[in-house]
């Protein structure tokens, strides 16, 4: 799972870096020469559509998705574990829904050979295939997490469930930051 998260982070980072360069070049060329390269906004939409599911997958693997701890920290171990299970399973349900929606959209696009309503008139099947693929990565990560959560839930392993699906403790976050600092 960590390898998937690392690769997803790398792909997301490179995509956003290239997008930033394209936007900067488009802005300079437009300001300096009153010429538009055209299509940078289209590429931006594709980059976000591909990058977002990768970021979702990384957040799940690294347990870094946002949580509201106002009540969570006041709950006992069992209730915290059940809240973690509910969160993980609901995220998996969302991943399934998004994958099904993307598949249906992709199938319809392929059937009608739809083109983007932009100057490039891109055949939408290509960016949607990438989108579907990255949603597949998110779905895979979510299904593995759900499997791990359900296994611990059935064994009533509250500590194990919190370790798999709960938010990292302050100590874990500090340790991760220090390790990252040491690597750099």
**pLDDT value, residue 161:** 92
Residue 72's pLDDT is 81
pLDDT at 179: 83
Residues, the chain, total? 184
Chain CA centroid to CA 63, Å:
12
Q: Which domain holds residue 30?
A: 2-183
CA angle 11, 12, 14 (to 5 degrees): 65
Q: What is the dihedral of CA 142, 97, 85, 3, to 10 degrees?
A: 10
Residue 136 to residue 44: CA distance in whole angstroms: 21
* pTM for this entry: 0.86
pLDDT at site 170: 67
- In this prediction, residue 145 carries a pLDDT of 96
Q: What is the pLDDT of residue 2?
A: 84
Query: Encoding tokens for residue 127?
Result: 């960016």
pLDDT in tens, the chain (184 residues): 888 888 988 998 999 999 999 999 999 999 999 888 888 889 999 999 999 999 999 999 988 877 777 788 888 889 999 999 999 999 999 999 999 999 999 999 999 999 998 888 999 999 999 999 999 999 999 999 999 999 999 999 999 998 899 887 667 777 877 887 888 7
Residues near 88 by beta carbon (within 8 Å), at least 6 away in sequence = 142, 145, 146, 149, 164, 165
Q: Extract the tokens encoding 182.
A: 């040491």
Residue 99: per-residue pLDDT:
97
Rounded Cα–Cα distance for residues 9 and 108 (Å): 30
How many domains does the chain divide into? 1
Query: How far is it, in rounded angstroms, from Cα 67 to Cα 175?
Result: 20
């Amino acid at each position: 799972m960590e390898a998937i998260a690392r690769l997803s982070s790398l792909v997301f980072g490179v995509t956003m870096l290239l997008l930033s360069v394209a936007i900067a070049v488009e802005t300079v060329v437009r300001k300096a020469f009153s010429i538009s390269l055209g299509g940078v906004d289209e590429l931006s939409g594709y980059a976000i559509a591909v990058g977002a599911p990768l970021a979702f997958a990384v957040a799940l693997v690294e347990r870094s998705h946002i949580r509201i701890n106002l009540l969570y920290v006041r709950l006992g171990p069992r209730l915290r574990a059940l809240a973690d299970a509910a969160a993980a399973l609901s995220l998996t349900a969302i991943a399934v829904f998004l994958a099904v929606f993307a598949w249906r959209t992709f199938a319809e696009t392929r059937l009608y050979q739809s083109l983007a309503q932009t100057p490039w008139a891109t055949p939408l099947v290509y960016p949607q295939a990438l989108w579907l693929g990255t949603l597949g990565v998110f779905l895979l990560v979510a299904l593995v997490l759900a499997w791990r959560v359900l296994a611990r839930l059935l064994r009533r392993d509250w500590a194990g469930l919190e370790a798999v699906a709960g938010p990292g403790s302050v100590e874990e976050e500090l340790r991760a930051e220090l390790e990252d600092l040491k690597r750099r």
